[in-house]
Each structure stands twice: as C-alpha cells, then as structure tokens.
C-alpha cells in the first residue's frame, strides 16, 4: 500500500503556508466520507448480526416478544428436524455439482478464446450475457418449462421432465448455474491475458510441449484467479435461492429434492414465522461459509502461486 502522500505534501508546502490543513481536520474529512458506510455497517450489518445471534436462542414469531429457549433451536435443528438435514444435503450436493462444472466450463472456454485472433470480443460478450440474465425470474421460468414434462429436455432425451423427478430436479437447478459460466470465464480470460508471453517462450525453448506449458506455466500463473473464482462461486452457491424457488414453483419439491438451505430458511422464518429458528439457521450458514472459506484459504497455500512472492 502506498503511504507517500503525506510526506510529499509536507515537502511541497512551506511550513508557513496558510493552506496546510491540520491533521485532525483531514481525519475529520475522512469520517465524513465514511459516514454512510459506517452507519450502514453498524445499523444494517453489525447490529443485525448481534440481534440474530440473540434471536437464535429464542422463540420469536414477530408479534409476541422473543422467549429465551437456550440451545433449543440448535438442538432441534441438528437432532429432530429431518427436513433441515435434507436441505443441508441438497445444498451441499448442489454446490458440489454446480461449482466445479461451472468453473471447468469457464476455464475451457477461456482457454479456447485466449489465442483467438478474430471474434474474441464477440464470444466473450455473448458467453457473458447469461450471467446477467440467468438470475432473473424470466429465465428461471423458462428453465422450469424446458425441463418440465413435455419440455425440450423430455422430448430430446425421453427421460420425462426432470422438474418432477426427485433424483433429477436438482440437476436442472444446477445446470441453470452452469449456464451462467460467463462471469468466471471473463475473469479467467483476464487472468490468462496477464501471463507474460516470455514465460511460454522460455518454456518452449526448454522443449516444453503445449500440454507441459499448460501444466507448468498456465496453471500456476492462473491459480490465484482460479482461487478467487472458487471462493466467490462457492460462497454464492451456498446461498442459491431464486432458481430453486422458481424451478419448483416455490415449493422445493418434488419430495423436498430442491429445498435448498435458503429456501428452508425462508420457509421457517417467513412462512412459518419461526424467526428464532430461522436465525439459528442463518448463523449456522454463516459459520459454515466462514469455515469453508477458511479451509479454502488454508489449502490455497499449497496450490496457489503468487508471482509477487518472489520479489519480497
């Protein structure tokens, strides 16, 4: 981080100059700029987190005052609520299917586009478009229809509509996520283009073939970007809601097969008015995402290569 601004200022401005502002006043200016963010961080982030932690130990239905129940919600969640575990398994299955597929496709397409002379910008934009459209209700409704009985997939494969089959419905939801591979693809492509051409030339001089170059140059140089995409997509995937909601017409069915974590949280909190229980669910989600992110960061030390480390 650069910290040169202050010394240069004092050098340029004579000590007697009336314009020089006292440090305290400048610090005050910083807090004026920050004030909306600080207010938001306190009132809409920190306070709610504290409140939801408190509520997770209570019975609360929005109308009567919260009633302290200790660990009751957590105990019920982990030991007495099969739908909760069902939603956990569903969500993890979804993450494990959707994220690797999406990132693999993104990487393959980015590699294909990288060396392209003509049409690269066109393909890049065209493949990116679903990332913007895919989160919409419109596309989710299309998905439901295309994967429904008598829809395109049924007609092509003769499997019947996936939407009504417990073993297949989640795959339809996951494919909607895979369809939006454009965002990580654009990030991969930007990362690929930053790899210096000299590295490939040097590798070629040393007799490395295309595949060897990919393994020894591309993979390590791209690993920070791969890591960034992996963390971001994993966190997002854990919070999937709209596609599962729309594909199952708001029910999480058939047989709870698309009842992802956030949908069950919505159901407990806003449909059944068990705000305490839903708060406990939210905190478990927060902790799980925190742990998964920490694990990813920890393992990253062994496979993510930061080129700048050599300079230190």
Partner 1 sequence: MTSTAVSHKPVRWGRVAVHLGCLAALLVMLYPLAWLLATSLKPADEVIASLDLLPSHLEWSNYSTAMEGVNDVSVWRLLTNSLLIAGGAVLGNVISCSLAAYAFARLRFRLRGPLFAFMIATIMLPHHAVLIPQYIIFNQLGLVNTYWPLILPKFLATEAFFVFLIVQFMRGLPRELEEAARIDGCGPFRSFFQVVLPLTRPALITTAIFTFIWTWNDFFTQLIYLFDPDKFTLTLALRSFVDASSTSAFGPMFAMSVIALLPIVLFFLAFQRFLVEGMASSGVKG
Site map 206..235 versus partner 1, x via CB under 8 A: -------------------x--xx-xx--x
* Residue 15 C-beta: closest distance to partner 1, Å: 14
Residue of 112, 215, 291, 295 interacting with partner 1 (CB under 8 A)? 112
Residue of 256, 265, 267, 304 interacting with partner 1 (CB under 8 A)? 265
Taking CB under 8 A as the criterion, which residues in 233-262 touch partner 1?
235, 238-239, 241-242, 245-246, 249-250, 262
Q: Determine, following the binding rule CB under 8 A, whether residue 138 of this chain makes contact with partner 1.
A: yes
Closer residue to partner 1 (CB): 93 or 131: 131
| Structure-token match 């998964």, residue found | 292
Quote the Cα angle for 78-81-85, to 5°: 65
Q: Which stretch binds partner 1 (CB under 8 A): 87-95, 163-171, 252-260, 285-293?
A: 285-293
Binding residues for partner 1, rule CB under 8 A, total 101
CB under 8 Å to 189, separation ≥6 — which residues? 110, 113, 114, 124
CB under 8 Å to 134, separation ≥6 — which residues? 176, 177, 179, 180, 243
- CA distances (Å), 195 to each of 184, 219, 274, 307, 308, in order? 17, 10, 52, 10, 13
Closer residue to partner 1 (CB): 35 or 159: 35
Residue of 173, 174, 259, 278 interacting with partner 1 (CB under 8 A)? 278
> Which residues are paired to 67 by β-bridges?
59
Q: Determine, following the binding rule CB under 8 A, whether residue 283 of this chain makes contact with partner 1.
A: yes
Alpha carbon distance 153, 171 (integer Å): 12
Taking CB under 8 A as the criterion, which residues in 152-171 touch partner 1?
152, 155
On whether the CB atoms of residues 233 and 103 are closer than 8 A, the answer is: yes
**Phi and psi for 59 in degrees, rounded to 5?**
-100, 120
Alpha carbon distance 296, 229 (integer Å): 11
On whether the CB atoms of residues 92 and 291 are closer than 8 A, the answer is: no
Q: Determine, following the binding rule CB under 8 A, whether residue 305 of this chain makes contact with partner 1.
A: no
Taking CB under 8 A as the criterion, which residues in 27-86 touch partner 1?
27, 29-37, 39-41, 43-45, 47-49, 51-52, 55, 62
Q: Determine, following the binding rule CB under 8 A, whether residue 201 of this chain makes contact with partner 1.
A: no
Q: Which stretch binds partner 1 (CB under 8 A): 69-77, 82-90, 95-103, 179-187?
A: 179-187
């Amino acid at each position: 981080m650069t910290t040169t601004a202050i010394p240069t200022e004092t050098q340029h401005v004579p000590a007697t100059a009336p314009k020089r502002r006292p440090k305290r006043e400048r610090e005050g200016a910083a807090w004026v700029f920050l004030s909306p963010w600080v207010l938001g961080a306190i009132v809409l982030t920190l306070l709610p987190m504290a409140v939801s932690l408190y509520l997770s130990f209570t019975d609360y239905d929005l109308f009567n005052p919260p009633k302290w129940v200790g660990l009751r919600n957590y105990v019920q969640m982990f030991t007495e609520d099969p739908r909760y575990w069902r939603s956990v398994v569903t969500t993890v299955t979804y993450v494990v299917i959707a994220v690797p597929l999406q990132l693999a496709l993104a990487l393959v397409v980015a590699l294909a586009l990288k060396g392209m002379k003509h049409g690269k910008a066109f393909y890049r934009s065209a493949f990116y478009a679903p990332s913007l459209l895919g989160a919409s209700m419109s596309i989710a409704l299309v998905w439901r229809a295309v994967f429904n009985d008598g829809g395109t997939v049924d007609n092509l494969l003769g499997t019947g509509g996936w939407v009504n089959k417990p073993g297949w419905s989640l795959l339809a939801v996951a494919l909607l996520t895979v369809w939006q591979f454009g965002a990580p693809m654009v990030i991969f492509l930007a990362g690929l283009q930053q790899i210096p051409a000299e590295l490939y030339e040097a590798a070629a001089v040393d007799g490395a073939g295309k595949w060897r170059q990919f393994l020894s140059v591309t993979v390590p140089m791209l690993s920070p970007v791969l890591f960034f995409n992996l963390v971001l997509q994993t966190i997002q995937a854990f919070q999937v809601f709209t596609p599962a909601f729309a594909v199952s017409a708001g029910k999480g069915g058939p047989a709870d097969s698309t009842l992802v974590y956030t949908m069950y949280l919505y159901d407990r909190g806003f449909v059944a008015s068990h705000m305490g229980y839903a708060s406990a669910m939210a905190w478990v989600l927060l902790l799980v995402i925190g742990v998964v992110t920490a694990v990813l960061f920890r393992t990253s030390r062994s496979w993510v290569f930061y080129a700048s480390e050599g300079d230190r």
